[in-house]
């Protein structure tokens, strides 16, 4: 999907960002993707290994979970804007593999200006914060997914639904837990879609 012109300009700026040390090891900046004025704006944590290589958000295993959840919630991915709170892949080398490492507060804060620019240009009706890092980017280090889940929060005058990150489904301990996590994730996306329709009315 080709970004609208204004977002392409910001993506080009972000590609040269050196505000934290993550740029030095990542392959590239992974900017958001979606329509110019998508009604739903989904925020994840950071690119993974697949995203870092391809330069697109949510194209790896977590992306497949997101795609399946959006389909179950009857939301077209092409109709939503998808991005991450942190635009570079943070990892620990382990042999030939690169293992995901959670961004710290300094890295989240350093990248927040790009997220705010995306929100400013897309002007969504509803924001969906997927996981702790997305919530921390919006609300600071005291944010907890479990505490805020089920509430409609607010950021920049827009309603925010908080939910798990798609990777939480992958990390579930067994099939039963995986199914429960996926069901809850889909239910949260449906809530966001209903809220968006209310905001658009």
pLDDT digits (tens, 9 = 90+) for 178-189: 999 999 999 999
Contact between 65 and 167 under an 8 Å Cβ cutoff? The reply is: yes
Contact between 142 and 27 under an 8 Å Cβ cutoff? The reply is: no
Domain spans in the chain, listed from the N-terminal domain onward? 5-200
The pLDDT score that the predictor gives to residue 5 is: 87
Contact between 199 and 126 under an 8 Å Cβ cutoff? The reply is: yes
Contact between 64 and 17 under an 8 Å Cβ cutoff? The reply is: no
140-166 tens-digit pLDDT? 999 998 889 888 999 999 999 999 999
Distance CA(182)–CA(188), nearest Å, equals 10
pLDDT band at 199, cuts 50/70/90?
A: confident
pLDDT at 2 over 70: no
User: pTM, whole model, 2 decimals?
Assistant: 0.96
89-125 tens-digit pLDDT? 999 999 889 999 999 999 999 999 999 999 999 999 9
Average per-residue pLDDT for the chain: 95
CATH code: domain 5-200 is 3.40.470.10
Alpha helices by DSSP H, 18-98 = 49-54, 61-72
Alpha helices by DSSP H, the chain = 5-15, 49-54, 61-72, 105-122, 132-139, 145-148, 166-170, 175-200
The pLDDT score that the predictor gives to residue 124 is: 97
């Amino acid at each position: 999907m080709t970004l609208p012109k204004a977002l392409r300009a910001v993506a080009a700026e972000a590609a040269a960002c050196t505000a934290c040390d993550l740029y030095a090891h990542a392959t590239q900046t992974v900017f958001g993707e979606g329509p110019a004025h998508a009604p739903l704006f989904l925020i994840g944590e950071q690119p993974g290994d697949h995203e870092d290589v391809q330069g697109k958000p949510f194209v790896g295993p977590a992306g497949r979970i997101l795609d399946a959840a959006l389909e179950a919630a009857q939301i077209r991915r092409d109709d939503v804007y998808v991005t991450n709170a942190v635009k570079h892949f943070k990892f620990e080398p382990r042999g030939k593999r690169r293992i995901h490492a959670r961004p710290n507060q300094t890295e989240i804060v350093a990248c927040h200006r790009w997220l705010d620019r995306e929100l400013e240009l897309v002007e969504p009706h509803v924001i969906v914060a997927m996981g702790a890092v997305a919530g921390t980017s919006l609300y600071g280090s005291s944010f907890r997914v479990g505490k805020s889940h089920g509430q409609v929060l607010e950021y920049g005058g827009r309603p925010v639904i908080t939910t798990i990150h798609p990777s939480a489904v992958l990390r579930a301990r067994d099939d039963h837990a995986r199914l429960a996590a996926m069901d809850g994730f889909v239910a949260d996306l449906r809530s966001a879609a209903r809220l968006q329709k209310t905001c658009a009315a």
